Amino acid sequence: MSSGKRDFSEYLAEFFGTFLLIVFGLGVVAVVFLTGRSVSQWEISIAWGLAVAMAVYLCAGVSGAHINPSVTVALAVFGKFPWRKVLPFIIAQTLGAFVAAAVVWFLYQNLFEIALGNVAGDPVATLNMARIFCTFPDPNITMTQAFMTEVFITAMLMALILALVDDGNGLPRGPLAPLLIGLVIALIGITFGPLTGFAMNAARDMGPRLFALLAGWGPDVMTGYPLSENITIPYFLVPLIAPIVGACVGAGLYRVFVTRALGMKASG
């Protein structure tokens, strides 16, 4: 296979992997908002974790299953991932998330219309429905807390991903690694999810947010201002920037404190 065809197959794998992750993830959130069924934070977090695991199983053999711009950038900064592929990977991931949001909207369209009709005239309630697609902070936390939450949880995620796929760190995990990564996602969602919606992934947030913008929520979906007096900047910047910062922090810490120690142990 030529280099160009191989690269395109990787981009396509990232598209479909991210699509699978987001279509399942948004699907469970739609259940909460649109069907009236009682779903706990635990169940939502487990669903997102399983969605990540299945997405990794789908495309890991082709693209490495980044399915997250934060992972892509961190691997380029601290790993051997080529910088020329970073932007195409991010575009593929974001498009996959956008299309997934469109599919969820289409399949739940009648329920969306009923739910939005029930809150017509209430801008806060209407914008709150956009949580099906994208993340907003708890109204009781500040933007600094929201940003640092996303940095912290994405740093933990990235460090644990590296630990779980590093055969030199403990026993080789092989086919179990994607499932264990999914459990990490679930654990983060259960413990810190209510604060920011545990985005940890710019494509996961931006792709569906752009769909919501085009689907009728308008520019408020980018700013989030009506939802909280504590939103002091356009909120889309938080899940866009903070996860990338966090992933680089997590990868850097793993490299300094674990990879170096393992190298010293092996050489000693």
The mean of the pLDDT values for the chain is: 95
- Measured in whole angstroms, the distance separating CA 192 from the mean position of its chain's CA atoms is 14
Look at residue 1 in the predicted model and tell me its pLDDT. 63
To which residue do tokens 């947010």 refer?
A: 209
**pLDDT, tens digit, for every residue of 5-35?**
899 999 999 999 999 999 999 999 999 999 9
The pLDDT confidence band at residue 57, using thresholds 50, 70 and 90, is: very high
The yes-or-no verdict on residue 194 having pLDDT over 90 is yes
Query: Residue 3: pLDDT above 90?
Result: no
Helix (H, G, I), strand (E, B) or coil at 34: helix
pLDDT band at 116 (very low <50, low <70, confident <90, very high): very high
Nearest to 192 by CA among 204, 180, 181, 184: 184
Helix ranges restricted to H, the chain = 3-34, 41-63, 69-78, 86-107, 109-118, 123-128, 143-165, 177-196, 202-212, 220-223, 237-254, 260-267
What is the CATH code of the structural domain delimited by 3-267?
A: 1.20.1080.10
Contact 71, 85 (CB under 8 A): no
80-86: long-range pairs with CB below 8 Å, 24+: 85/7, 85/10
Tokens of 261: 């120690």
* Residue 212 in tokens: 């919501």
**Residue 264 has what pLDDT?**
65
Q: Where are the domains of the chain?
A: 3-267
Residue 183 is predicted with a pLDDT of: 97
Calculate mean pLDDT across residues 70-77: 98
Report the pLDDT value the prediction gives residue 97, as an integer from 0 to 100: 98
Helix (H, G, I), strand (E, B) or coil at 158: helix
Closest CA to 160 of 250, 75, 70, 244: 250
Give me 145's structure tokens: 């807390």
- Using the predicted structure, report yes or no on whether residue 137 has a pLDDT greater than 80: yes
Determine the pLDDT at residue 38: 84
